[in-house]
Chains A and B, each alone.
Chain A
Amino acid sequence: MHAAALMLADSRFPGGGHAHSGGLEEAVARGLVHSESDLAPFLAGRLRTAGELAAVFAGAAAHAGRRDAGVDHWRLLDAELDARTPSPAQRTASRAQGRGTLRAVSHLVLDTLAAATPRPHHPIAVGAVVGASEGAPADAALTVAYLAVSGPASAAVRLLGLDPFAVNALVMRLIPVMHTVAEYAVRHAGTDPADLPAPAAVGLDLLAEAHDRHSQKEVRLFAS
């Protein structure tokens, strides 16, 4: 694992990730998740859907970052991920974290990405940072696959007061799946952006929209 990827996966990385629950807060508010045993399928499902999409684009972005792709390529990659993110609330959450990532890291390659889009999607920013640091697509893909699980897992501890050791055991149990997801992403890292896979998580899209609606009217502690 490349150290740039470790930095990005660290919950202490100041890229704004701590305020996002990946749909978990809304699921908790609806009573869908209230214990470690409901959290397990939520995390596994998220990893195989939203996590897989993020891994595919992080891998492709790392590939692009390594060869210092031009503005047009970054714009295309970002637009293709937008097209695979039907929920406006999800897009906003992803772009907020992408912008946060760029803010926290400075590198020439990232200037090209920022010129294409100052608020790129989060997986693209992560992939660009890893690629720009000579990290591999696998490092970037594994990072976002891990974050797809660790973010909501940490939110569950904070929102439900779950036992952090039990929650961490759930994360640990998903490690082989994270590698499977990352390997799948790596196979597509050099693919034309338009032909990249498009795994969907309709349930998470709907939760994100509901979260956004509710945060206008009632208490929500997370941004997404």
Chain B
Amino acid sequence: MPVEHTHTHPVNFDPTATEPDPHAAATHAGRAFRLGIGGPVGSGKTALVAALCRALGGQVELAVVTNDIYTTEDADFLRGAGVLDATRIEAVQTGCCPHTAIRDDISANLDAVEHLEQHHPGLELIIVESGGDNLTAVFSRGLVDAQIFVVDVAGGDKVPRKGGPGVTTADLLVINKIDLAEQVRADLGVMVTDAHRMRGELPVITQSLVRTPDAPEVAAWVRDRLAAQPA
């Protein structure tokens, strides 16, 4: 469960201290909530988007922007899986720089988001999937209201320990593919402990989309975020 950050800290001058971002993302009443999903290639971002579409699609008006470097493949996957109407998926080309498109120059993504909002009035949630990138790629707050960072156990149990802004500052860290932990000899306990150490009080969810294809815990987290939005 996300912890509401209401109490105040004395100013911390330790430049290495990790704390939740004290500034709430600017919310814009009346428009869809924008949720970024980032993380390395193959960690399960698209699979999570599909799971969220299945879990929330019945109750929430939603649409998806996908930035995968091979753009149309992800969009095709979502269309093919039948989880989302084709007109609710926009693909964005990132000019070989997926992190640029979600962080430094968000124009193309904002264009895609605005296009979806224009064509589907009443949208409540727009999920933006980043192209697979390294651990330093995070979404700009000019583009999303909240972000999930997805890593997987197959990437090695040292990933959370490596840190980087994705692991340390994302609003939610998802450790995916826990069904594979034994095969790849990843110590899940170490991953979770490291993740909490790196992230302070920010939440961490472990999941397997093989075991729970509708990502119930992440879906519940998203529902809470939507409910917390000013109407």
Mark A residues whose CB is within 8 Å of B: 12-21, 96-97, 99-100, 103-104, 155, 158-159, 215-216, 219-223
Beyond A100-B111, A223-B93, list 12 extra A-B contacts (CB 8 Å).
A14-B107, A16-B108, A18-B97, A18-B101, A19-B101, A19-B108, A20-B95, A99-B107, A215-B93, A216-B72, A220-B71, A222-B93
Name B107's contact: one of A104, A159, A221 (CB within 8 Å): A104
A-B pairs, top 5 by smallest CB distance, nearest first, are A16-B107, A100-B107, A19-B95, A14-B105, A158-B96
Interface string of B98-129 (1 = CB under 8 A from A): 00110011111011000000000000000000
Q: What would 20 A/B residue contacts be, using CB atoms closer than 8 Å? A: A14-B104, A14-B105, A15-B105, A16-B105, A18-B100, A19-B92, A19-B95, A96-B108, A99-B107, A100-B108, A215-B71, A219-B70, A220-B71, A220-B93, A221-B94, A221-B96, A222-B93, A222-B95, A222-B96, A223-B92
B69 interfacial by beta-carbon distance below 8 Å: yes
Residues of B within 8 A of A96 (CB): 107-108, 111
Residues of A within 8 A of B97 (CB): 18, 158
Tell me the B65-101 residues at the A interface (CB within 8 Å).
69-73, 92-97, 100-101
Mark B residues whose CB is within 8 Å of A: 69-73, 92-97, 100-101, 104-108, 110-111
- In the complex, the number of residue pairs spanning A and B with C-beta atoms less than 8 Å apart equals 67
Determine the distance from Cα of A26 to Cα of B180 in the docked complex, in whole angstroms. 40
Residues of A within 8 A of B110 (CB): 103
Asked if residues B108 and A159 are in contact (CB atoms below 8 Å), the reply is no
Instruction: Give the shortest distance, in Å, between B112 (CB) and chain A (any CB).
Output: 10
Main secondary structure of the interface of B (DSSP, over half): loop
Asked if residues A21 and B72 are in contact (CB atoms below 8 Å), the reply is no
Residues of B within 8 A of A19 (CB): 92-95, 101, 108
Residue of A nearest to B142 (CB): A14
Centre residue among A100, A158, A216 by max chain B CB count within 10 A: A100
Asked if residues A103 and B95 are in contact (CB atoms below 8 Å), the reply is no
Residues of B within 8 A of A100 (CB): 105, 107-108, 111
Residues of B within 8 A of A223 (CB): 92-93, 95, 108
Residues A18 and B111 in contact in the complex (CB < 8 Å), given A215-B72, A220-B71, A220-B93: no
Name A99's contact: one of B70, B93, B94, B111 (CB within 8 Å): B111
Name A159's contact: one of B73, B92, B96, B105 (CB within 8 Å): B96
Asked if residues B105 and A18 are in contact (CB atoms below 8 Å), the reply is yes
Asked if residues B93 and A12 are in contact (CB atoms below 8 Å), the reply is no
Asked if residues B72 and A158 are in contact (CB atoms below 8 Å), the reply is no
Residue of B nearest to A25 (CB): B95
Determine the distance from Cα of A176 to Cα of B108 in the docked complex, in whole angstroms. 32
Residue of B nearest to A100 (CB): B107
Determine the distance from Cα of A205 to Cα of B105 in the docked complex, in whole angstroms. 26
Determine the distance from Cα of A77 to Cα of B73 in the docked complex, in whole angstroms. 38
Residues A221 and B104 in contact in the complex (CB < 8 Å), given A16-B111, A96-B111, A216-B72: no
Residue of B nearest to A99 (CB): B111
Determine the distance from Cα of A221 to Cα of B73 in the docked complex, in whole angstroms. 12
